[in-house]
């Protein structure tokens, strides 16, 4: 049996994470799941998000994600998308229907774009975590030395100068990490916009997929590695 294509994996991963992402970005407690968008969610909030220091995504990406979440919620609630016995379906049955009927997916090029953005994000995180650990170790060692120097008669001025230097180094370090992260955040924003935009169009044309994906989220279904589905 053919495996799930990477496009479907990208689709489901993005859809299933929308509810959690909204709660994290906007601080609104809410149930998780692709259809869990609060009724009062205003696209204008995306402009506020983008204006934050080190914003996790652009306003355009935020609005695109919000639009996809709206389509997901509407599709999952569409009476025509519901079938008798949906709530009793097993994960295998849900995935089986997706395989049989086809599923909305992102294009291969957009899936590749999202994969590259995810890899860049993971690489940046690992790099910056390693840099932060090394910097903190250095700062701690210098701080201990400055503390000891401050206990020596006449060493207070030197210790104060060292501490001031550490503060400046910390500010420079933070600025460097922000600058290094900026292109990766832009890459992520472009990928989010592309993926959610394509999914939004697919969900509007196939609300049943929204319903099935909601059921997957409710049941915490895991995609089997050997499952197959038609690609595009």
Q: How far lies 132's CA from each of 126, 138, 208, in Å?
A: 10, 10, 46
**Whether the predicted pLDDT of 37 surpasses 70:** no
Mean pLDDT of the chain: 74
Angle at 140 between CA 138 and CA 146, to 5 degrees: 105
Reported pTM: 0.65
Cβ-proximal residues to 17 (8 Å cutoff; 6+ apart), any chain: none
Mean of pLDDT values over 25-42? 49
156 domain residue, yes or no: yes
226 domain residue, yes or no: no
Selected residue with higher pLDDT from 2 and 43: 43
pLDDT at 84: 92
Count of domains in the chain?
1
| Contact (Cβ atoms closer than 8 angstroms) between residue 182 and residue 7 | no
224 domain residue, yes or no: no
Query: Which position has the token pair 């975590």?
Result: 129
230 domain residue, yes or no: no
- Over residues 190-231, the pLDDT tens digits come to 988 888 888 888 888 888 888 888 888 888 887 665 544 334
Highest average pLDDT, of 54-68, 156-170, 217-231, comes from 54-68
- Over residues 104-153, the pLDDT tens digits come to 567 888 888 888 888 888 898 899 889 888 888 877 766 665 565 556 55
In angstroms, rounded to a whole number, what is the distance separating the alpha carbons of residues 105 and 85? 25
| Contact (Cβ atoms closer than 8 angstroms) between residue 69 and residue 201 | no
Angle between helices 156-205 and 207-219 (to 10 degrees): 130
Domain assignment of residue 79, given as a range: 6-219
195: nearest Cα among 43, 84, 68 = 68
Mean of pLDDT values over 5-28? 50
Mean of pLDDT values over 57-76? 85
228 domain residue, yes or no: no
**Whether the predicted pLDDT of 36 surpasses 50:** no
| Contact (Cβ atoms closer than 8 angstroms) between residue 203 and residue 197 | no
101 domain residue, yes or no: yes
158: nearest Cα among 148, 170, 168 = 148
42 domain residue, yes or no: yes
225 domain residue, yes or no: no
Selected residue with higher pLDDT from 199 and 155: 199
């Amino acid at each position: 049996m053919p495996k799930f294509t990477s496009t479907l994996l990208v689709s489901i991963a993005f859809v299933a994470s929308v509810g959690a992402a909204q709660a994290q970005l906007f601080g609104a407690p809410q149930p998780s799941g692709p259809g869990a968008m609060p009724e009062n969610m205003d696209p204008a909030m995306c402009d506020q998000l983008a204006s934050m220091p080190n914003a996790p995504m652009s306003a355009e990406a935020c609005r695109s994600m919000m639009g996809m979440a709206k389509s997901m919620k509407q599709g999952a609630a569409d009476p025509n998308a519901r079938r008798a016995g949906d709530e009793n379906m097993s994960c295998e049955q849900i995935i089986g229907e997706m395989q049989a009927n086809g599923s909305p997916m992102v294009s291969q090029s957009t899936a590749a774009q999202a994969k590259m953005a995810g890899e860049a994000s993971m690489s940046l995180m690992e790099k910056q975590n390693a840099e932060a650990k090394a910097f903190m170790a250095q700062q701690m060692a210098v701080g201990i030395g400055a503390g000891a120097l401050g206990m020596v008669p006449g060493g207070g001025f030197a210790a104060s100068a060292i501490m001031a230097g550490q503060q400046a180094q910390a500010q420079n370090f933070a600025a460097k990490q922000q600058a290094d992260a900026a292109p990766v955040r832009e890459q992520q924003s472009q990928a989010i916009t592309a993926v959610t935009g394509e999914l939004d169009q697919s969900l509007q044309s196939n609300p049943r997929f929204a319903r099935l994906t909601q059921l997957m989220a409710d049941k915490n279904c895991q995609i089997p590695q050997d499952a197959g589905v038609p690609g595009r």
